[in-house]
Amino acid sequence: MTTEYTENFRLNLPDFRMGPWHDLINTNTVTIDELLLSVLQGVDTRPWTNNTLFSVGMTAVDTVDNTFWVCSVTHTSAAVPTTFAQDRAAHPTYWARVVVGVAPRGEWKNSTHYLPNDMVSSAPQGVVAVCITEHTSSPAPATIRTDQAYWSFIIDSQATLHANFIVYDNTGSGVAATNVQTALDLTFSNDATNKANTTTNTNNIASLTTRMTNNENLDTTQSANITTNTANIASVTGRVATLENAGYITDAPYDDKQYARRNHAWSVVAPPSGISTINISDTPPANPLDNTFWLESDSGALFVRYNDGDGSQWIGVSGGGGATTGYVDTGDQLRVAKAGDTMTGDLHINKSAPSIFLDKTDAAGVAIYGTVAGSMRWRMSLGNTTAESGSNAGCDFAILGYSDAGVSLGVPALLLRRDSGNAQFLGSVTVGIGGSTGTYYFGNTSTKYLNYDGTNFNLVGGGLIAGNINAGQLLASNNVVSAVTTTTGAYQFGTSYTKYLTFDGTNFNLVGGSLIVAANIIGTELKTQSNTTDGIVRFGSAGTNYLWYTGGVFTLNGGGLIINSTVTATGHACRAGLSGAYSGNYFNLNQPGVALWIDTTNVGNITVTSDYRIKKDVLDLPGMWDTVKGLRPIKYTQAEFSPPSHVKLKVEEALKARKEAEEKGEAPPPVKPDGDGIEPMFPADDIERWGFIAHELQATLIPTAATGVKDSPDHIQSPNPFTIIAALTKALQEAMTRIEVLESKIV
pLDDT tens across 501-516, in order? Answer: 777 777 777 777 766 6
* Per-residue pLDDT band at 483 (split at 50, 70, 90): very low
Can you give the pTM of this predicted structure? 0.29
pLDDT of residue 641: 87
* Per-residue pLDDT band at 213 (split at 50, 70, 90): confident
Please tell me which residue, 489 or 44, carries the higher pLDDT value.
Answer: 489
Average pLDDT over residues 707-716: 86
The CA-CA-CA angle for residues 313, 314, 316, to 5°, reads 140
Measured in whole angstroms, how far is the alpha carbon of residue 78 from the centre of its chain? Answer: 63
> Are 135 and 147 within 8 A, CB to CB?
yes
Average pLDDT over residues 220-233: 85
> Are 548 and 557 within 8 A, CB to CB?
yes
**What proportion of the chain, given as a percentage, has pLDDT over 90?**
15
Residue 459, H or E segment: strand 457-460
Q: Is the pLDDT of residue 522 over 70?
A: no
Average pLDDT over residues 313-332: 55
Q: What is the DSSP string of 109-152?
A: -TT-EE-TTEEEEETTTTEEEEE-S-EEPPPTT--TTTTGGGEE
Give the model confidence (pLDDT) of 386-421 as tens digits.
878 888 888 888 898 899 998 988 788 888 888 888
Give the model confidence (pLDDT) of 232-269 as tens digits.
888 878 776 666 665 556 676 766 566 666 656 677 76
pLDDT of residue 731: 92
Give the model confidence (pLDDT) of 549-588 as tens digits.
776 677 777 776 777 666 676 777 776 655 667 766 777 7
d(CA 106, CA 103): 9
**What proportion of the chain, given as a percentage, has pLDDT over 70?**
72
Give the model confidence (pLDDT) of 31-78 as tens digits.
666 555 555 554 567 889 999 998 888 888 888 877 778 888 889 999
Average pLDDT over residues 642-670: 79
Give the model confidence (pLDDT) of 592-650 as tens digits.
666 777 777 776 666 667 788 888 999 999 999 999 999 999 999 999 888 888 788 87
d(CA 646, CA 571): 14
Please tell me which residue, 697 or 3, carries the higher pLDDT value.
Answer: 697
Measured in whole angstroms, how far is the alpha carbon of residue 727 from the centre of its chain? Answer: 44
Give the model confidence (pLDDT) of 119-172 as tens digits.
899 999 989 999 989 899 999 999 999 999 999 988 887 776 667 767 778 888
Indicate the average pLDDT of the chain: 76
Residue 196, H or E segment: helix 180-246
Measured in whole angstroms, how far is the alpha carbon of residue 329 from the centre of its chain? Answer: 66
> Are 342 and 332 within 8 A, CB to CB?
no
pLDDT of residue 162: 66
pLDDT of residue 479: 45
| 3-state SS class at 617 | coil
